Amino acid sequence: MTTDILIIGAGIAGVTAAYFLAPKHRVVILEREPQPGYHTSGRSAAQFAEAFGSPIVRALARASRGFFERPPPGFADHPLLTPRASLVVARAGQEAELVAEQVACAAIGIVTDLVDEAGARRLFPPLARGLYSAGLSEPGAGDLDVDALLQGYLRGARAAGVRLVTDAEVTALERRAGQWHARTRAGDFAAPIVIDAAGAWADAIARLAGARPLGLVPKRRTALVFAAPADTGDTSAWAHTGDADETWYVKPQRGAFMGSLSDATPDEPRDAWPDDLDVAQAVANIEAATNLRVGRPIRSWAGLRSFVPDGTPVAGFAADAEGLFWLAGLGGVGMLTSPAMGHAVAGLIAVGDVPAELYAFGVTAATLSPARPGL
Ligand SMILES: Cc1cc2nc3c(=O)[nH]c(=O)nc-3n(C[C@H](O)[C@H](O)[C@H](O)COP(=O)(O)OP(=O)(O)OC[C@H]3O[C@@H](n4cnc5c(N)ncnc54)[C@H](O)[C@@H]3O)c2cc1C
């Protein structure tokens, strides 16, 4: 079949792009797996924070907050964003890093609070005594309802005519007579524009199209859920907490805790699986840093966070393959930046520029471009 835009990949990047493109374009999403969100987008920690990542990532997060707080009518039955402070704790000698981070945040209007050890424990009561001397909290952070977000984008996209084709791995891409032709076992599809939203496989899609890969590196991150002791009490106000060295983080999650090793191990594009040693290390690190006893996790998993060399997401047409649009390198922020990235994609495809509201945050076509310096 022929359409205006083919999107390869039904993770958060692909479905968000479809949602924001749908009002003006005919869109088909091609997804290899039987359901959307099977890979990285189904494996996140669902955190929203502004004080995280590169300056452009922070700008994208700030530009996304309004959508999460006030989604369009009918988008979701529950709030998309539930307040939960984030907290980074530091050992003696690392306080200057927290101060520098606070100054950088203040310069772009992100509110953070420096706390001492007692203040950190008020935000996260299980913190082990005597290990961490200070913390930097972001009171405006929160938990995203990732399922509601993904389903909301998909529902809205479908209502506007987008077709999602699952079990449709793109195995060949060829440009003929101004159209991309994508071959899948669900049939052949053609469109003048292809959006490469294939997550860890985005470089592989570029190779299929004959374009230069961006040097994307999928990095494995290990996560687990463990039971909360019966006497834990109300954890709803506890902060999402991790250490400045990025060796662990923990957050309360529906009567349990979610934790991670905060690892970033270079990997291959694949259905990622947690390494037993990484799970054991996550348990050890969390137990050393807190008075929580993880024991045997209820479940553990791993996901691939894919980064381009400068760590900032990419959205824009490839310079070396007409009609091929990159939407890749979402790293650890694909959820929390999704509305801004969706707006950016829609603007870049419709008029060749990001919408003015993103400029106000410092996000421009150049800052997201696959041709920016360093890529
Ligand atoms: C442990 C962990 C914690 C995280 N925590 C957070 C967080 O707190 N907040 C946050 O914002 N982000 C977080 N992230 C990051 C976030 O999950 C990612 O940035 C995001 O999911 C990336 O989405 P994506 O659509 O690019 O990739 P994916 O979700 O992987 O989607 C890519 C899709 O492309 C499909 N595909 C690939 N090749 C083909 C092909 N040839 N044909 C058809 N389809 C194809 C795949 O099957 C896949 O469904 C976390 C990630 C992990 C692993």
Q: Please report which helix (H) or strand (E) contains residue 190, including its range.
A: strand 187-191
- Averaged pLDDT for residues 195-213: 98
Q: Please report which helix (H) or strand (E) contains residue 313, including its range.
A: none
Alpha carbon of residue 229 to chain centroid: 30
CA gap 180, 203 in Å, rounded: 17
Coil vs helix vs strand at 16: helix
374, two tokens: 């360093």
Question: Residue 41 Cα, ligand 1 centroid: separation in angstroms?
Answer: 4
CA gap 263, 282 in Å, rounded: 9
pLDDT one-digit tens code per residue, 311-325: 999 999 999 999 999
> Is the pTM value of this prediction over 0.85?
yes
* C-beta 267 within 6 A of ligand 1: no
**Which pLDDT score, from 0 to 100, does residue 156 have?**
98
User: Is 230's pLDDT higher than 90?
Assistant: no
Q: Which of 16-30, 139-153, 225-239, 345-359 has the lowest mean pLDDT?
A: 225-239
User: Is 109's pLDDT higher than 90?
Assistant: yes
Per-residue pLDDT band for 209 (boundaries 50, 70, 90) equals very high
User: Is 360's pLDDT higher than 90?
Assistant: yes
Question: Residue 13 Cα, ligand 1 centroid: separation in angstroms?
Answer: 7
Q: Which of the listed CATH numbers 3.40.718.10, 3.40.50.1980, 3.50.50.60, 3.30.70.600 matches domain 5-47+146-215+310-368?
A: 3.50.50.60
Q: Please report which helix (H) or strand (E) contains residue 148, including its range.
A: helix 146-159
User: Is 229's pLDDT higher than 90?
Assistant: no
**Which pLDDT score, from 0 to 100, does residue 254 have?**
85
Question: Residue 199 Cα, ligand 1 centroid: separation in angstroms?
Answer: 5
Residue with the smallest CA separation from ligand 1 atom 50 is: 44
Q: Please report which helix (H) or strand (E) contains residue 61, including its range.
A: helix 55-69
Residue with the smallest CA separation from ligand 1 atom 4 is: 44
Return the domain boundaries, the chain.
Answer: 5-47+146-215+310-368, 92-139+217-307
Cα 23–24–25 angle (5° rounding)? 105
Rg, the chain, Cα only: 21
DSSP 80-124: SEEE--EEEEE-TT-HHHHHHHHHHHHHTT---EEEEHHHHHHHS
Question: Residue 195 Cα, ligand 1 centroid: separation in angstroms?
Answer: 15
* C-beta 25 within 6 A of ligand 1: no
Question: Residue 40 Cα, ligand 1 centroid: separation in angstroms?
Answer: 3
* C-beta 336 within 6 A of ligand 1: yes
Protein fold of 92-139+217-307: D-Amino Acid Oxidase; Chain A, domain 2 (3.30.9)
Per-residue pLDDT band for 69 (boundaries 50, 70, 90) equals very high
